[in-house]
Structure 1
Amino acid sequence: MENIRVLELYSGIGGMHYALTESGVGAEVVAAVDVNTTANEIYKHNFPNTPLHPKTIEGMTLDDFNKLTFDMILMSPPCQPFTRIGLQGDISDPRTKSFLYILDLLPRLSKLPRFILLENVKGFETSSARESMVKTLIECGYNYQELLVSPTCLGMPNSRLRYFLIAKAPPGSFCFQTTPEIHEGFPLPAEEDVSGRSFPVSHSSASTTCPEEERRETQAEDAGVLYKLERIQDAERKSRQNRDESVRQIGDYLENHGGEEMEQYLLSHKTLLRYALLMDIVRPTCRRSVCFTKGYGHYVEGTGSVLQSCMETDMESAFRSLELLSDEEKLQQLSRLKLRYFTPREIANLMGFPKHFTFPKNISTKQQYRVLGNSLNVHVVARLIQLLVS
């Protein structure tokens, strides 16, 4: 098979590109398109030889698309119109305009792309945008499968439940049985087809099915949980997750820098006093963390877990009777935990970005958190590309 020619839309910092490389599929990104200048600078820094179009998708004509002669579309449209904690503007949100433009162009392309992969937030599956997409795919004759998948399915200690759709143009079919329902986790491919050719399978021993408790955790995150005022059942759920040995420990993803270099990531006194009861705190031995969003490091509640870097201090004792203490005493007690933010590199590790992924030196920490929060898990998408092409 010749190299698959790939069009990467909403290319961001290159998560889809890295996933394509990791999948092992013979492919070449013929063009990447994104309007975000910061993301484009990071993309160009890591993929200097890939043609990058810094423009809106609506700024490309049908002829522009046809000239690229691509076989695959990888895309992750803006999620803000569909997130459950947003306004849920759906197709009335201006940020959905470019996606609807793609759906309008698809049937009019001179040649249908053989493969399509789309990623978005949980919530997209109930949107009118999704209805329009499925209608267009059916009219074009595509076979497709919708999925809800999280990195925990691959043994990674981070909850990032996301909606995916993979589609194949006729006469293509999948190496697994498609269903009209949204599949939770990865469908298991057949071991081999009639020719005896083996299909790629997961490199992880973790379960391919996402646990239902992760869906509840994601819903709780969106509702804004008071983590240190959590219910007994929430504490028990987190304890179960930390005992699940099919998931790796947080410590496997941490940087090995000394204390001085990490001091810049310690939570400020103001943040400790104001948000101590709202934070999701994990330790290096934990096997769970909550989803990191673009507001991480700037906002505290619901934007991602923080790390307890002093293992000698017991968390329960640090939080005991806080309401009875003065601010100075609270600080003294909480500071013993040495709570810090995960570094951007650590978040990139938890999202599957390879070690050679780097940021240009002029990109601030806040910008790094923001673009990572808007990105995707590389390992999850790599596995889906394998399933799509097999």
Structure 2
Amino acid sequence: MEGLRVLELYSGIGGMHYAVQESGIPAQVVAAIDINPTANQIYKHNFPDTDLWNKTIEGISLDDFNKLPFDMILMSPPCQPFTRIGLQGDIADPRTKSFLYILDLLPRLCRRPRFILLENVKGFESSSARERLVKTLMECGYTFQEIMVSPTSVGIPNSRLRYFLIAKLSTDIDSTWSSKMLDAFPLPAESESPEQRTSSRPLRPATGQPEEDPRGGVLYKQETAVEVQRKRSQNNDLSVRQIGDFLQPQTEVNAENYLLPPKTLLRYALLLDIVQPTCRRSVCFTKGYGRYVEGTGSVLQCCTETEMEDVFRGLDQLSEDEKLQKLLKLKLRYFTPREVANLMGFPQSFSFPEQVSTKQRYRVLGNSLHVGVVARLLQLLLS
């Protein structure tokens, strides 16, 4: 595997590049391709020596691809056509054009890559795009394996369930791949987030009062008793590290800059996913984190001396001023971009250019992937 040459498509902020480094595989990224100007600015900041192409993939000719000496393709195509909250346009969505172009090019390359790794959201596994991918790989002589993985399987307290496919150019079927996958990514004891369920998550009304937990306490965030039990199970899973391990030192964070504003507290208190430093769970951070509330990521309770039940019990009976005073006792804040990056496996050497705003940082992180999960898959692919 010495001198493995890697082509990084949809390179974003360099998650795949960092995964190659973490995997320990001797390799060089010969080119990275993306059209997002903010992501490219961050990528170049961290990998100044890598050849970064600010081009659309479908704008690169077959001859240009043939001139690139690569043994592996790493890619994370646009996920919007497949997300459960989107229109699910699949191959009819214009954003899949570049991916379909790659599938068209692959059989025509003068030298096909020996290895391929692809990442996408849950939903891709049942798409027509995935069917075309599998058909193309089989026609080109690849052996492949698919898996749905979340960082919790590697001990990280964050839900980010994603589809992965690894493929190698070989006519010999590796019958051990499936068992190796299970060893590398043990399943959590319980379903670790609603996005892992096979059925759609039932919608809850936008308004309403918190339920009573049969075991005592208040079900904030308009949760069901089943959801509360799932969170308890996650927090008792000692194979997963605590949130506190991924937080910045208090001396490095001006918490005042990340506190939830009063309007957000009053309007969305029952929808917040609240975690403490001792928790072993958090929900997936999306590109809307910091701007939208429900389903975009967890918030951190900084004042752990304040009991959650004391704050939420009887909250609906209070005036707005009284509600706000109770909620402020929790000192709820957003995770900083650096903390989100920590939970997504980015090394301490990763940094943002100063001119990139906090909003932009959250956005590009939400579009990225978990470095540690990809590193393990690369090790498995090349083992």
TM-score range, shorter chain: over 0.9
Tell me by how many angstroms 1:311 deviates: 0.9
Q: Which segment drifts farther, 236-245 or 93-102?
A: 236-245
* Length-normalised TM-score, structure 1: 0.91
Tell me by how many angstroms 1:23 deviates: 0.3
Q: In structure 2, what is the Cα distance between the partners aligned to 1:150 and 1:95? A: 25
Partner of 2:76: 76
- Give yes or no for contact 2:90–2:128 (8 Å, CA) kept in 1: yes
Q: Which amino acid aligns with 1:263?
A: E
Q: In structure 2, what is the Cα distance between the partners aligned to 1:283 and 1:81? A: 34
Partner of 1:314: 307
Give the 3-state SS of the residue equivalent to 1:101 in structure 2.
Answer: helix
Structure 1 residue 272 corresponds to structure 2 residue 265:
yes
Q: What does 1:137-156 align with in structure 2 at a 5 Å threshold?
A: 137-156=137-156
Structure 1 residue 166 corresponds to structure 2 residue 166:
yes
Structure 1 residue 209 corresponds to structure 2 residue 187:
yes
Corresponding residue pairs, total: 368
Q: In structure 1, what is the Cα distance between the partners aligned to 2:224 and 2:12? A: 38
Q: In structure 1, what is the Cα distance between the partners aligned to 2:200 and 2:285? A: 11
- Give yes or no for contact 2:304–2:330 (8 Å, CA) kept in 1: yes
Q: In structure 2, what is the Cα distance between the partners aligned to 1:317 and 1:83? A: 37
Q: Which segment drifts farther, 167-176 or 211-220?
A: 211-220
Partner of 1:197: none
Structure 1 residue 342 corresponds to structure 2 residue 320:
no
Q: Which segment drifts farther, 66-75 or 253-262?
A: 253-262
Tell me by how many angstroms 1:313 deviates: 0.4
Q: Which amino acid aligns with 1:357?
A: F
Partner of 2:43: 43
Structure 1 residue 3 corresponds to structure 2 residue 3:
yes
- Give yes or no for contact 2:300–2:335 (8 Å, CA) kept in 1: yes
Give the 3-state SS of the residue equivalent to 2:28 in structure 1.
Answer: strand
Partner of 2:247: 254
Partner of 2:131: 131
Q: 1:376 to 1:317 in 2, by over 3 A?
A: same
Q: In structure 1, what is the Cα distance between the partners aligned to 2:221 and 2:49? A: 48
Q: 1:367 to 1:23 in 2, by over 3 A?
A: same
Q: Deviations over 1:90-143 (max 9, x none)?
A: 000000000000000000000110000000000000000000000000101100
Tell me by how many angstroms 1:83 deviates: 0.4
Q: Which amino acid aligns with 1:334?
A: L
Give the 3-state SS of the residue equivalent to 2:41 in structure 1.
Answer: helix
Q: Which amino acid aligns with 1:120?
A: N
Q: Which amino acid aligns with 1:272?
A: L
- Give yes or no for contact 1:176–1:187 (8 Å, CA) kept in 2: no
Q: In structure 2, what is the Cα distance between the partners aligned to 1:362 and 1:338? A: 28
Partner of 1:20: 20
Partner of 2:209: none
Q: 1:71 to 1:224 in 2, by over 3 A?
A: farther
Partner of 1:94: 94
Tell me by how many angstroms 1:231 deviates: 1.1
Partner of 2:351: 358
Give the 3-state SS of the residue equivalent to 1:187 in structure 2.
Answer: helix
287, 310, 334: which is aligned to 1:294? 287
Partner of 2:371: 378
Partner of 1:388: 381
Partner of 1:194: none
Give the 3-state SS of the residue equivalent to 1:30 in structure 2.
Answer: strand
- Give yes or no for contact 1:175–1:387 (8 Å, CA) kept in 2: no
Q: Deviations over 1:223-250 (max 9, x none)?
A: 6667522111111110111011111000
Give the 3-state SS of the residue equivalent to 1:6 in structure 2.
Answer: strand
Q: In structure 1, what is the Cα distance between the partners aligned to 2:22 and 2:288? A: 28
Tell me by how many angstroms 1:214 deviates: 2.1
Q: 1:175 to 1:24 in 2, by over 3 A?
A: farther
Give the 3-state SS of the residue equivalent to 2:191 in structure 1.
Answer: helix
- Give yes or no for contact 1:224–1:302 (8 Å, CA) kept in 2: no
Q: 1:224 to 1:50 in 2, by over 3 A?
A: farther
Q: In structure 2, what is the Cα distance between the partners aligned to 1:38 and 1:246? A: 36
Partner of 1:187: 182
- Give yes or no for contact 2:159–2:193 (8 Å, CA) kept in 1: no
Tell me by how many angstroms 1:284 deviates: 0.3
Q: In structure 1, what is the Cα distance between the partners aligned to 2:182 and 2:80? A: 28
Partner of 2:214: none
Q: 1:224 to 1:370 in 2, by over 3 A?
A: farther
Give the 3-state SS of the residue equivalent to 2:74 in structure 1.
Answer: strand
Q: Which amino acid aligns with 1:135?
A: K
* Length-normalised TM-score, structure 2: 0.92
Q: In structure 2, what is the Cα distance between the partners aligned to 1:306 and 1:171? A: 48
Q: In structure 1, what is the Cα distance between the partners aligned to 2:74 and 2:150? A: 18
Q: Which amino acid aligns with 1:170?
A: S
Tell me by how many angstroms 1:365 deviates: 0.2
Tell me by how many angstroms 1:186 deviates: 3.0
